[in-house]
Structure 1
């Protein structure tokens, strides 16, 4: 595991980052897809303020970090600023919903809440694409970076599915429900089983982190909750496996309805 982390950081330092105040500012102005910006916590000055303002306008998260963190990523003069390039293009949630409906399709979306491992995100994206899921919704903070490593893990699926980055998952839930899209969350003790839900209707599945699950305020706002049936006492599924099971059940129901 240590070797994996080391190689990933080295790769990011050479391929995935933009270093320095003016280069980052120019990248923001030039429309370069930025995943997040690391900013020395004591950084100041006009350019820093401009970076903060531009990032806020573009819904790009800015993370204050100590000098040591930046020094680990590059040997060049970073001037307190490093930006991670994103390998995907983020889209507006409402515009994506409108496009799906305009194409005559039934919305089926996936929301990631606290999923940080890029290999899990890549695997989830592959299952999503294979099951006809049109979009993945992620928060601007608390999710794994969608750089080249994530795209490779997804076998390119992240480049073929709509990715919507939002400032608030709760507001995204409200927006989805206003558009007639049901929100389903997975919980071990839910009274309904996955197959008991009508997944042929417009819906969005929320997949939480493996250690803490879906955040409580998202769970409370959900339309319904479901449990994935288990044959034995083992109660832990990898999040990408749980996503795959859920999405394939939704696809199965749609195929059965088409064939009936």
Structure 2
């Protein structure tokens, strides 16, 4: 997968992509656009709450590798996103102990890709991200995931809270990875239907989310550094889950 395969450009092309339901990660726009097509695009962007960035024309030239972009370039997701409610239902019907992963606005694509790769190896049933503020599923994400992004169901939700309520209504316990607790991850029962929440690189799990979860858990830190990289921490917790569930023939 290359970056070129996930790029479209031109006002009309992007408008038609949005109207057809194409999953768009981000739209780059040139400052000062005022045409009628731009106004139409701007309305669609607002209605669909799409992420945009105003950039110099030089960046648009680099992204599109074409000067005929009309001041608009869009990055399209190379994967199809799943409906969370349907994914939960399908997972429960398989008579397995569900294991979901919620990423609370993790923004680095390399961390995101590494987490997807580890999650796929650890048998996670699906990853849940928020539409705004999360790293895009782009070519770099796919590359870092070693292709696991094509195998791992990924769901986008308007708000992480929506996902928590839906999971808890399905009797799936929620576990937030946070240093703001005295409970070790090794003392939490992970051998039950659970969703693990990992927080953003700079802020961790949002305090409003921490108020809603069933459990909070931390990893022991024996050195002087105050935190682990989020993808490393995620891997440690997922494999503790595997250990507790008695799955040793990996």
TM interval, short-chain normalised: 0.7 to 0.9
Q: 2:162 matched to which residue of 1?
A: 171
What's the CA shift for 1:87? 1.5
Q: 2:8 matched to which residue of 1?
A: 18
1:238 counterpart (218, 221, 229): 229
2: CA distance between counterparts of 1:147 and 1:66?
19
Count of residues in correspondence between the two structures: 245
2: CA distance between counterparts of 1:242 and 1:43?
47
Query: Any gaps of 5 or more consecutive residues in structure 1?
Result: 1-10
Q: 1:98 matched to which residue of 2?
A: 89
2: CA distance between counterparts of 1:246 and 1:61?
32
Is contact 1:16–1:147 with CA below 8 Å preserved after alignment? yes
Q: Does 1:199 align with 2:174?
A: no
Deviations 1:132-151 (A, max 9, x none): 10101111121222111111
1: CA distance between counterparts of 2:49 and 2:246?
38
Q: Could you say what the CA RMSD is over the residues aligned between the two structures, in angstroms?
A: 2.6
Q: Does 1:49 align with 2:40?
A: yes
The TM-score normalised by the length of structure 1 is 0.83
Q: Does 1:149 align with 2:140?
A: yes
1:208 counterpart (169, 184, 199): 199
1:124 counterpart (115, 118, 121): 115
1:213–1:91: structure 2 CA closer, same or farther, 3 Å change rule?
Answer: same
What's the CA shift for 1:226? 0.7
Is contact 1:182–1:202 with CA below 8 Å preserved after alignment? yes
What's the CA shift for 1:16? 2.3
Is contact 1:67–1:80 with CA below 8 Å preserved after alignment? no
Map residues 99-114 of structure 1 onto 2, 5 A cutoff: 99-114=90-105
Query: Any gaps of 5 or more consecutive residues in structure 2?
Result: none
1:49–1:254: structure 2 CA closer, same or farther, 3 Å change rule?
Answer: same
The TM-score normalised by the length of structure 2 is 0.86
Q: Does 1:34 align with 2:24?
A: yes
What's the CA shift for 1:186? 1.5
